[in-house]
Amino acid sequence: GSKISYVYPSAILKGRNARVSIANITVAKGPVWKDGGAKVYHLAPNTQSEIISKSISSNGGVSVYRGLIKVARGAKNSTASVKCDSLIMDKESKAFTYPKNEVEEEEAYVVHEATTGRISEDILYYLETRGFKEQEARRLIVLGYVGDILGKLPFEYQMVFRKVLELEFEEIGGYA
């Protein structure tokens, strides 16, 4: 429960063929600011990094992604992939993305993609016409949204995270 949170896991890839995968999920519910992201330094040839960041903003919450990819001169054939997705649950909430890519090696491949969107009223309506209550439809949408990250976790962690997510949104009229 802090009003402002900052979380930035970092990796320094110093050995040839070193790899890292960083995944994070940020939930900004209520009048809070959740600032997260990741930093990866590619300092050797043939290094690989993947960052997947998902954020969910609701009840006026603000989520921010800040990331750094640094590919040093001499880190030939290095690759970096960053994917930032933001889901905004209501009109009061916000999401921002601030990527920074510093590529000093011409023979490197760095890609960053970001998406921001709101829960579609059309999708909610569609699910409701199929028998789901609004809160259950929202829960399914949110769990589907974080599904690619959850799918990489051991089963026990998946179950715990699902329960935490459900509890986080329970008090605002059901689930996420």
Let me know: does 40 contact 53? Beta carbons within 8 Å. Answer: no
pLDDT band at 174 (very low <50, low <70, confident <90, very high): very low
Distance CA 134, CA 175 (A): 9
Number of other CB atoms surrounding residue 100 within 10 Å: 12
Lowest mean pLDDT segment, chosen from 1-10, 21-30, 38-47, 81-90? 1-10
Q: Which two tokens stand for residue 86?
A: 């933001």
CA within 13 Å, CB half, 159: 3
pLDDT given for residue 88 in this prediction: 94
The closest alpha carbon to 108, from 82, 78, 81, 80, belongs to 78
pTM of this structure: 0.86
The closest alpha carbon to 47, from 15, 17, 14, belongs to 17
The arithmetic mean of pLDDT across residues 24-36, rounded, is: 90
Let me know: does 33 contact 3? Beta carbons within 8 Å. Answer: yes
The closest alpha carbon to 158, from 167, 170, 149, belongs to 149
63 SS3 class: strand
Distance CA 9, CA 78 (A): 20
Quick check: 91 pLDDT over 60?
yes
pLDDT given for residue 1 in this prediction: 59
Q: What is the per-residue pLDDT across 103-144, written as a single tens digit (0 to 9) for each?
A: 999 999 999 999 999 988 898 899 999 999 888 888 888 888
Q: Give the amino acid at 66.
A: R
Return left, alpha or beta for 134; rule: phi > 0 is left, psi -120 to 50 is alpha, else beta: alpha
Q: What is the per-residue pLDDT across 55-77, written as a single tens digit (0 to 9) for each?
A: 999 899 999 999 999 999 999 99
- Where b means 16+ CB within 10 Å and e means fewer, 124-133 reads eeebeeeeee
Strand partners, 86: 55, 116
